[in-house]
Amino acid sequence: MVEKINQDLKEAMKNQDKFAVSVLRMLKSALQLESISLKKELSDNEVLTVIKRNVKQRKDSMAEYEKYGKTEEVENLAKEVELLQNYLGEEMSEEAINVVIDEVFESEQPTSMKDMGKIMKILTEKLGPTADMSLVSKLVKDRLMK
């Protein structure tokens, strides 16, 4: 995964695509910081987690900029998100997430909201960076409230 990002950065530099170079350099920097903080080379799942975190930050910023009518910044952030999402691939569908949640609920038998943390920890390990964890959290919370 890191190799692909480095390769894409070189390609963007050759093509003089300043926007892509800028975004990929920011991503590479974030990956290096994560690698330093973990004191090891990043696995593909860890790289995907960092990319997801960057996408989420940009989406949050987009929402803030939209509140204040800063359309140019929103458009730039949308382009950045689009570029970064190329590395994420497809996210799991809500139906696929529900299947995994069903399995975990069947094996763990949660009884109340007190079990939310335990369930979320298991789901985070099972789903990894392929699912939108805010959606997963919402689905688990809805089930536990029933």
Q: Where are the domains of the chain?
A: 2-88, 94-145
Q: Which amino acid is present at 117?
A: G
Residue 146 has pLDDT above 90, yes or no: no
Compute how many other C-beta atoms are within 10 angstroms of the C-beta atom of residue 81.
18
**Structure confidence at residue 139 (pLDDT):** 94
CA angle, 25 as apex, 12 and 53 as ends, to 5°?
A: 120
Among residues 130, 127, 134, 108, the alpha carbon closest in space to that of 119 is found at 108
Q: Which three-class secondary structure state does DSSP give residue 61? A: helix
Q: How many CA atoms lie within 13 A of 135 on its CB side?
A: 14
* pLDDT, tens only, 46-76: 999 899 999 999 999 999 999 999 999 999 9
Tokens, residue 53: 């975190």
Which fold does the domain 2-88 belong to in CATH?
Hypothetical Protein Yqey; Chain: A; domain1 (1.10.1510)
**In which residue are the tokens 């529900």 written?**
98
Q: Which fold has domain 94-145?
A: Arc Repressor Mutant, subunit A (1.10.10)
**133 pLDDT more than 90:** no
- Tens-place pLDDT, residues 76-105: 999 999 999 999 878 889 999 999 999 999
Task: Give me the half-sphere count of Cα atoms (radius 13 Å) on the Cβ side of residue 66.
Answer: 10
Q: Nearest to residue 146, comparing CAs of 110, 121, 100, 106?
A: 110
Using a pLDDT cut of 70, give the percent of the chain over it: 100
How is residue 52 written in tokens? 């997801």
Q: What gap in Å lies between CA 87 and CA 44, rounded to an integer? A: 11
Same fold for the pair 2-88 and 94-145:
no
First to last CA, the chain: 41
Global confidence as pTM: 0.78
